[in-house]
Structure 1
Amino acid sequence: MHHICLIEIFWHNLQYGLSIGVAPYFNTKMTLDLACFTETFTLNDALESIGFGKFHCKLALMVTLSWIASSIEVMITSLLAPQLRCEWRLPSYQVALITSMLFFGMGTSSPVWGHMVDRYGRRVGLWICTIWTAYFGLLSSFAPTYGWFLFLRCIVGFGLGGTSQAMTLYSEFLPMKARGCSIMIIGGFWSTGTLIVVLLAMWIMPTLGWMWLLGLSVTPMAIFISVCFWIPESLRFDMLTGNTGKAMATLRRMAKENGKPLPQGKMIAFKQVSLHIHILRHWRTTILLPFIWLANSFSYYGIVLLTTEFLQSEDSCGLTQEARIEQTCSLQYKSLTSNDYKDILWTTLAEFPGLLLCMLGVDRIGRKKSMAVSYIISFLSFLPLYGCIGRYVSVNVSIFIARAFIYPQFHLALVYTLEVTLALGICIGMGRLGSLISPFVSQVMLTMSLYLTLSIYCGCCLLSAIACVMLPIETMGMGLRESTFDGDAVPSNTTNNRSSGATFSCCQGQIKPE
């Protein structure tokens, strides 16, 4: 808590008395008004006082719907690839292009959605991008040709680029102690979405086909759209845009639902400092963190796509030999079988124990060490694939372990980036770049050299582990900052005289309760 100097209160009292021709004059009402606000608090103080409770559970339920829906739209592409390869007689580079165009749309849309949420708020931006994704996701199920399908999936990716705002919005309501664990729990619902789409594919693909699968996959997004109006606007957005009444109303709502009191006094915000200045102060983090995001997305989606490729061969060494011969698919599609879907379910389940282990470490050994250890384990799990091991060991053991420890990196990196307040949009954009180029390695380069493909993924994991160790800041125990860099709060004295009294602020960006 911050205390306003009593001398400053006396000075403003004296100013008010002089302004009406009575000096010295002490306005009793004004003195009482100022006495009520002799204490100030920041947004982080308010969040810590309110704690984690019923409000956050309800908000988490809404966010999980968005996260599940986004997961389904992203992961469904890897399941459609074997079917579309044979139905449209696609070579490997065209199959890879389907996934890459989705991520190309996601990457190009990030600045657009970022500008929208900065101007209109996170809730509005999230609602619009979800409607966009649901509409074009449904439309892509009617694509008559490969060209139309490629175009529509790129447009779907454009909408998906804004759905990451759901996690950012949720994190801004969390108290410091609950942030790391809560974000990791929400991350588990991405895996839930993957499980749902695999089960849907197992049930629908053999009978109704891929068009029905794509059409039904937008159902979670339709549900989220119907409940999106309940989600409150970001407190930090309201503060920085001057919507003080909405910010205080949201805090009162949180306090009421959680059964906790708000801090006494007035809430203040700190002066914003230029993003360029903040980046220059943290130049090493500015270089390392975007690379970690790129490597994480590159490795994760590489593992997902390698899974379906490994399922097409009896052993890992046979992959390259079989890939050099274009599959004719003459009388029967080379689509995934029931056993293939079960293997995909098994590797997807790996994400849950991986998340659990990282949840145990993120608030104990810290963010940096948790990320570094996970990358090293993923690197080691790739090494057995260099041998001509059978399908059971390659998919059910090596890829299982690699996926278990790569997937949590998304959420560990998100927690770290939010806490260090370093241009989240830049990091997400680098992640999209990694996702975009990964299919050409896991599906196209694999046809030329298994060893080169594995070496790239191994090297990526190893370099990421080194980058995590080199990060200069450990953010465990740090609160989210209320602006770009709130350590540079600059006091200012502004007075607003009224007939009934006077109010003043001690910091720029002051938030006054109603």
Structure 2
Amino acid sequence: MSSGGMMMFKASKERSEETRGLIENRGSGASDAVCASLSGVGVETDGMSIDDVVTLLDWGPFHWLLLFQCGLSWACDAAEMMLLSFLVPRITPVLMPDASKEERDHYGFLLSAITFIGIWLGALVFGRVSDQLGRKPGYLISTAMVGFFGILCSFAQTMNTLIALRAVVGIGLGGVTCAVTLFSEVVAEKYRGAAIILSIGALWTFGCVFETCIAWLCFSMHGVQWRLFLVLSALPSLTLLTIFPWLVESPRYYLVHGRGEEAVQVLKAAAARNKVRLPDNLKLHAPKKPAAGGKSESHLKTLLGKKYRTTTVLLWGLWFCSVISYYGLCFVTPLYFSFQHQNEYAVTLLSALAEIPGMVATSYLVDRIGRKRTKAVMFSIGGIATFVLSVSSLPFGVLTLAAIVGRGSVLGAFNDLYVYTPEVYPTSSRAFGLGLCSAVARIAGIIVSYISFANESASEAASAVLVYSLCSFAGAVISMCLPIETKGRRLDGNEVGGG
């Protein structure tokens, strides 16, 4: 991890030592009122809030393991999405040798679009599954779908079969938000922004680099080794399944569903791993309930209620712009440079590695200037760089640099959304809210599939890149219009749904 990220993880050590001392005093019989006044964490005789306990856990081995367990989902997601940019232009001539160019283009678009349609459906389904059955079951089922159906894709004999199987893979990919929700709910606010961005960013980039390398390997062999390519692409998801016996469930999920004892067990296990002492008789505050006589609202009614309506609509716009900008660059870059007779794999690999500086910059800014401003800055830089990339007459070196800066910056803004969205919604609707944003964004994925893969020349690809630039600038404007800044916000401070 970068030195900037490590500094952020160490920034609250003094605070953690102070609150840890509070718990030790509490356990030895010190006055609750005195302990509360010394620490400022609000300990009461009838229990502690879950945010207070998560703050006491600080950052330690438990969180490093969970970061790895949840972050691996992003490596798998990246591999399956980058797969499209290499597979779509090559698969139709193999499975449809006698078809016309128009028919091949049509099926190539369908192969990409159906993946996004699957993600759209999966995001809705797994958002609900995660809020009803738990973050861990949603994460497990979605990962299994991606791995097993990804392998089955390699046995497809026709384009129709391959398209149907990729639709199921897409549904599984829609559940990747379960991992983000789980991770965000057990990390203290002080670390949450940097931890989510660094875990998503680093492992997503690893997935992109992995996929580019195996594409370079497979498609450089004699013939088009697309079946081997699909098998290797699915292996990370199958490998990820082996870590689930050691994955915990979110204690916030347990608490909201009236399973307080199980929530305490998870927190105590985390404390033991981090070598933090918690009271033996630890009790947690029950989550806030709706006003007397009121009925529990549906998830959608909560998100579109008075409290969250504006934020929800603006977030849909931001997710839409992010998918257009980021996936557009991912899909069109290999085609763009292949049209110019350049090494598409080398440029794509450099662009993927360039995501690391964007990730580090975002993780640094997000806890200093806030979530909103960070998105605006990164979208703006991405928009400028992508605009330069759209000028196809510029030298190869300039275009390569523009592709590198553009992709890294837009991914930084996208990662910031994965921090902001879970923070702004209540626990009872958090996974559904994140899943719904992801689902709305996949409509953009269908559009970007057509824009990217319908190009037949460098000039047409440059026009597509210009569209992605405009979407980046739109994202910067929308970011500053968000009514809520979540920097420093406690997750248990927004448990009541909007009216």
Q: Could you give the per-residue CA deviations for residues 382-426 of structure 1, whole angstroms, max 9, x where no partner exists?
A: 222443425724641221111010112222011111111172222
Select 1:227's aligned residue among 240, 243, 247: 243
Aligned CA-pair RMSD = 2.5
Contact 1:93–1:440 (8 Å) recurs in 2:
no
Q: Distance in 1 between matches of 2:131 and 2:177?
A: 14
**1:271 corresponds to which residue?**
288
Q: Write the mapping of 1:297-446 to structure 2, written as runs, cut at 5 A.
A: 297-314=323-340, 339-390=343-394, 392-393=396-397, 395-421=399-425, 423-444=433-454
Q: Distance in 2 between matches of 1:158 and 1:266?
A: 38
**2:213 corresponds to which residue?**
199
Secondary structure of 1:41's aligned partner: coil
Post-superposition shift, 1:451? 6.2
**1:61 corresponds to which residue?**
68
* Matching residue's letter, 2:388: P
Q: Which moved more, 1:91-100 or 1:235-244?
A: 91-100
Q: Distance in 1 between matches of 2:345 and 2:463?
A: 27
Q: Distance in 2 between matches of 1:343 and 1:136?
A: 30
Q: Which moved more, 1:112-121 or 1:68-77?
A: 112-121
Select 1:453's aligned residue among 454, 464, 467: 464
Contact 2:375–2:416 (8 Å) recurs in 1:
yes
Q: Distance in 2 between matches of 1:463 and 1:454?
A: 14
Q: Distance in 1 between matches of 2:497 and 2:340?
A: 57
1:296 is aligned to 2:307: no
Select 1:172's aligned residue among 159, 168, 185: 185
Contact 2:54–2:187 (8 Å) recurs in 1:
yes
Secondary structure of 2:47's aligned partner: strand
Check 1:66–1:425 CA distance in 2 against 1; reply closer, same or farther (3 A cut): closer
**1:99 corresponds to which residue?**
112
Post-superposition shift, 1:42? 0.7
**2:476 corresponds to which residue?**
465
**2:40 corresponds to which residue?**
none
1:78 is aligned to 2:85: yes
Unaligned 5+ runs, structure 2: 1-18, 20-42, 291-296
Contact 1:41–1:267 (8 Å) recurs in 2:
yes
Check 1:197–1:391 CA distance in 2 against 1; reply closer, same or farther (3 A cut): farther
Post-superposition shift, 1:40? 2.4
Secondary structure of 1:164's aligned partner: helix
Check 1:153–1:394 CA distance in 2 against 1; reply closer, same or farther (3 A cut): farther
Q: Write the mapping of 1:101-180 to structure 2, written as runs, cut at 5 A.
A: 101-180=114-193
Contact 1:347–1:395 (8 Å) recurs in 2:
no
Could you tell me the TM-score, scaled by structure 1's length?
0.79
Contact 2:193–2:366 (8 Å) recurs in 1:
yes
The number of aligned residues is: 432
Q: Could you give the per-residue CA deviations for residues 210-244 of structure 1, whole angstroms, max 9, x where no partner exists?
A: 10111122222222111211101111111111222
Select 2:492's aligned residue among 481, 500, 507: 481
Contact 2:335–2:344 (8 Å) recurs in 1:
no
Post-superposition shift, 1:92? 3.1
Post-superposition shift, 1:148? 1.2
Contact 2:316–2:441 (8 Å) recurs in 1:
yes
**1:512 corresponds to which residue?**
none
Contact 1:39–1:265 (8 Å) recurs in 2:
no
Q: Distance in 2 between matches of 1:478 and 1:450?
A: 42
Check 1:227–1:450 CA distance in 2 against 1; reply closer, same or farther (3 A cut): closer
Q: Distance in 2 between matches of 1:385 and 1:483?
A: 42
Post-superposition shift, 1:67? 2.1
